[in-house]
Amino acid sequence: MAKYTELAEDIVAHVGGKENIKDLKHCITRLRFTLKDENLADTEYLKNHDGVVTVVKAGGQYQVVIGNHVPEVYAEVTQVAGLAGGGSLDIDEGDVAQGNLFDKFVALISGIFQPFLGPLAAAGIVKGIVAILAATLGWNSTNSALYAILEAAGDGFFQFLPLLIALTSARKFRMNEFTALAIGAALVYPTLPGTVTALKEAGLDNVLGIPFALPASGSYLQTVMPVILAVWVASHIERYFRKITPDVVKLFVVPFFTILLTVPLTFLVVGPVANIASDMLSAAFTAVMNFSPLLYGLLLGGLWQVMVMFGLHWALVPLAILQFSQNGWTDILLAASLPNFTQTGVLAAIMLKTKEQKVKSISAPALISSIFGVTEPAIYGVTLPMKTPFYISCAVSALVGAGLSFFDVKGYAFGALGIFQYPGYVGPDTGLMPMWIMVGFTVVAIVASFAIQMLVPVPTLFGGAPVEASEKKPSAEAVASVAAVEATDTVSETSSVLASPLTGEVVALADVKDPVFSSGAMGQGIAIEPSVGEVVAPANATVSLLFPTNHAIGLQLDNGAELLIHIGMDTVELDGKGFTAHVKQGDRVTLGQPLVSFDISTIQEAGFPVTTPIIVTNTADFASVTATATGAVTAGQDLLEILK
């Protein structure tokens, strides 16, 4: 039994049972239930329950206040109530990605791949063992049963990757996992490629004039983006039918219409769009190659890993096969032959520099896989989520690709990856020279990417102290205020006096309109009615919690105090609108450093108070927490005295 299972069971039972839960979300301090009938909830029991701070009814929500452990309790409640993975649960605020569109895409992709990174890396290593057996012993699936078994063990995971992605995408988009698996299974249906070919030959490969098409590879095996898009569409369809379908038939009607609509949409929209994109990309690269092979190598080397992510690399594979069949050699994919080794280089540097043990444990098998030419564990598990290492890998790959094009290297074999590709560059007329050029550029790829990554900071992935974390410079006002405070020697790293994180008007905590804060249930502190939309660090600290909507931030101060700064009341409902974070969870921050910016007018126009409580949530660990300021206060001035 998990730590909070018993508490979760009690909460579910006393909000009226799982049948009474219409919707569940959470913010930084409380579970936010939407109940079918609030009269069925036993409020007094929950208020007095150990582990529950209090209960608040507001805004049509039944709010069970938990405190700092709300994410863990929320996870248990969704399990107990049968909401996780496809009940009546909508996407909660904890799933909202931060940043620009690319940041959200990266967060989505890494979140989908994270659950199965271990098996993915393991399958990649098995593929490497299979390649070694083929290269050294001459084994293949026709002369060795053991080889055939290991080949299935290594390739099976990658062949049917859409099924794994369908499962984790369903969890990400909050839809029924088995409905998502049914959609993924349709995409990899084994007889589908032959069926499409037969229909095309008969001139029947369309539905209402829309082509029934598959990707350039001939199937959706090993693809990534189509199934993610399919499950995303399915989640919206499922949510719609869940709302309008009577409970008595919801069990089969909702998945029926979800599958019935999603699968045709995927084949008739995703397929044609992917084919059009592939054709355009193929034409573009062909034109560039005819214009300048050097530029072609630069572009293909730099973009290859991105193209693989979207499945667009298949646009060039048929051209390479055709060239090989006509000439006995190919150079179309030459610039794409070594990006796996740039991943090897950055991973090696990351393993040396990172202080996160989890990153080290993921990077080790990913590095081994990359040597064998399998880069999915490296890209999706480490370098893409970190962004900077991925950029380095692409940049070095571009330069290596241009170098290979300059030397006009050609491949005389087709299909080998990683360290097993080199014999394929020994030509009948060129001898060993092309192979040694490839070996030389492999060394360049590894060393250059390793060296560059060693010179730049390694981002954190899972929290904890960042390595060489760069910090956003404080505003002029914050610098001035902090300088004034430090000049009087009233604030220091070990001081019991806490500086104000905001500029505005001091409000007694008892006067805050939210009873969770005004009652002191969450801890003692103060509140500020801000006049400037910026929160700065009130002391040297570590960011222990940053809610994805950026409306609340938790700090672990060096004196042991745990501080919660909650910008406005019920501002979680803004879903991040008007809030911008300048730090991330796990960052080390210094006095006066900007933490979060917010638009006061956006909050007020939405009808929410901007009053911001500043709470010491572990007040019981201290002798007293006392306000030292009244009236107007400027960020950096003394605000609270914390005595041990």
Q: How far apart are CA 466 and CA 520, in angstroms?
A: 33
Q: pLDDT above 70 covers what percent of the chain?
A: 89
Q: Cα Rg for the chain, rounded, in angstroms?
A: 29
Q: How far apart are CA 595 and CA 471, in angstroms?
A: 10
Q: How far apart are CA 622 and CA 640, in angstroms?
A: 13
Q: What are the angstrom distances between the C-alpha of 328 and each of 324, 325, 404, 423, 459?
A: 5, 6, 19, 15, 45
HEC readout, 338-352:
CHHHHHHHHHHHHHH
Whether the predicted pLDDT of 125 surpasses 50: yes
* Residue carrying structure tokens 């409306």: 551
Which DSSP letter does residue 449 get?
H
436 and 490 within one domain:
no
Lookup: tokens for 377: 């564990």
Question: Residues 537, 540, 546, 550: what is their CA dihedral angle, to the nearest 10 degrees?
Answer: 10
Collapsed DSSP state (helix, strand, coil) of residue 549: coil
Collapsed DSSP state (helix, strand, coil) of residue 415: coil
Lowest mean pLDDT among 272-281, 480-489, 529-538, 542-551: 480-489
575 and 438 within one domain:
no
486 and 368 within one domain:
no
Domain C-terminal end among 95, 112, 142: 95
Q: What is the model's pLDDT at position 103?
A: 65
Read off the pLDDT of each residue in 463-470 and give the average, rounded to a whole number.
40
Q: How far apart are CA 33 and CA 64, in angstroms?
A: 8
376 and 484 within one domain:
no
Give 141-166 pLDDT, tens digit per residue.
889 999 999 999 988 988 898 999 99
Q: What are the angstrom distances between the C-alpha of 210 and each of 130, 232, 316, 471, 538?
A: 42, 22, 25, 52, 60
Report the DSSP beta bridge partners of residue 361.
Answer: none
Burial of 19 (0-12, 13-18, 19+ CB in 10 A): exposed
Residue range of the domain that includes 338: 292-469
608 and 556 within one domain:
yes
Collapsed DSSP state (helix, strand, coil) of residue 630: coil
* Residue carrying structure tokens 């039994």: 1
**Is 394 an annotated catalytic residue?**
no
Lookup: tokens for 309: 């992510």
Read off the pLDDT of each residue in 586-613 and give the average, rounded to a whole number.
90
Task: Give residue 611's pLDDT band: very low, low, confident or very high (50, 70, 90).
Answer: very high
* CATH code for the domain of 37: 3.30.1360.60
N-terminal to C-terminal alpha carbon distance within the chain: 36
Which DSSP letter does residue 141 get?
T
* Residue carrying structure tokens 């199965």: 116
Whether the predicted pLDDT of 437 surpasses 90: yes
Read off the pLDDT of each residue in 349-364 and give the average, rounded to a whole number.
87
CB 278 within 8 Å of CB 310: no
605 and 555 within one domain:
yes
Q: What is the model's pLDDT at position 59?
A: 63
Give 442-464 pLDDT, tens digit per residue.
999 999 999 999 999 888 776 44
Q: What is the model's pLDDT at position 226?
A: 87
Q: How far apart are CA 119 and CA 432, in angstroms?
A: 37
Task: Give residue 435's pLDDT band: very low, low, confident or very high (50, 70, 90).
Answer: very high
Q: What is the model's pLDDT at position 426?
A: 87
Read off the pLDDT of each residue in 580-589 and give the average, rounded to a whole number.
89
Give 322-332 pLDDT, tens digit per residue.
787 678 888 89
Beta strands in 381-503 (DSSP E): 497-499
432 and 490 within one domain:
no
Q: What is the model's pLDDT at position 624?
A: 81
Domain C-terminal end among 69, 95, 121: 95
Q: What is the model's pLDDT at position 467?
A: 39
Q: What is the model's pLDDT at position 417?
A: 80
Residue 637 resides in a domain? yes
Q: How far apart are CA 65 and CA 376, in angstroms?
A: 41
Residue 224 resides in a domain? no
Lookup: tokens for 222: 């090993």
Distant-in-sequence, close-in-space partners of 461: CB < 8 Å, separation ≥ 6? 356, 358, 359, 382, 385, 386
Q: What is the model's pLDDT at position 49?
A: 83
Residue 25 resides in a domain? yes
Strand 541-546 to 562-566 pairing:
unpaired
Burial of 260 (0-12, 13-18, 19+ CB in 10 A): exposed
CB 358 within 8 Å of CB 113: no
Q: How far apart are CA 521 and CA 516, in angstroms?
A: 6
| Set 27, 186, 348, 543: catalytic member | 27
Whether the predicted pLDDT of 210 surpasses 90: no
Q: What is the model's pLDDT at position 323?
A: 81
Q: What is the model's pLDDT at position 478?
A: 44
Q: What is the number of structural domains in the chain?
A: 3
Q: What is the model's pLDDT at position 442?
A: 96
Whether the predicted pLDDT of 474 surpasses 60: no
From edge to edge, which strands make up the β-sheet containing 579-581? 534-536, 594-598, 579-581
Q: What are the angstrom distances between the C-alpha of 408 and each of 171, 246, 331, 421, 426?
A: 47, 66, 8, 17, 13
432 and 566 within one domain:
no
Domain C-terminal end among 469, 499, 527: 469
Count of beta carbons in the 10 Å neighbourhood of residue 544: 17
More confident residue, 533 or 466: 533
* CATH code for the domain of 480: 2.70.70.10
542 and 465 within one domain:
no
Q: What is the model's pLDDT at position 100?
A: 59
DSSP element (H, E) containing 527: strand 524-530
Task: Give residue 623's pLDDT band: very low, low, confident or very high (50, 70, 90).
Answer: confident
Q: For residue 260, which of 234, 282, 226 has the smallest C-alpha distance?
A: 234
The highest-confidence range among 25-29, 200-204, 274-278, by mean pLDDT, is: 200-204
Whether the predicted pLDDT of 106 surpasses 80: no
Task: Give residue 469's pLDDT band: very low, low, confident or very high (50, 70, 90).
Answer: very low
State which amino acid sits at residue 611. T
Residue 529 resides in a domain? yes
Residue 83 resides in a domain? yes
CB 308 within 8 Å of CB 409: no
More confident residue, 362 or 536: 536
More confident residue, 573 or 268: 268
Average pLDDT, the chain: 83
Task: Give residue 276's pLDDT band: very low, low, confident or very high (50, 70, 90).
Answer: confident
Strand 534-536 to 594-598 pairing:
antiparallel
Whether the predicted pLDDT of 380 surpasses 50: yes
Residue 556 resides in a domain? yes
Lowest mean pLDDT among 170-174, 176-180, 212-216, 310-314: 310-314
458 and 489 within one domain:
no
Q: What are the angstrom distances between the C-alpha of 231 and each of 245, 262, 376, 609, 634?
A: 20, 8, 21, 38, 49
State which amino acid sits at residue 160. F
More confident residue, 273 or 302: 302
459 and 329 within one domain:
yes
Q: What is the model's pLDDT at position 95?
A: 38
Which parts of 98-209 fold into alpha helices (H)? 101-113, 117-137, 145-159, 161-173, 177-187, 192-201
Residue 268 resides in a domain? no
Task: Give residue 84's pLDDT band: very low, low, confident or very high (50, 70, 90).
Answer: low
Residue 280 resides in a domain? no
589 and 518 within one domain:
yes
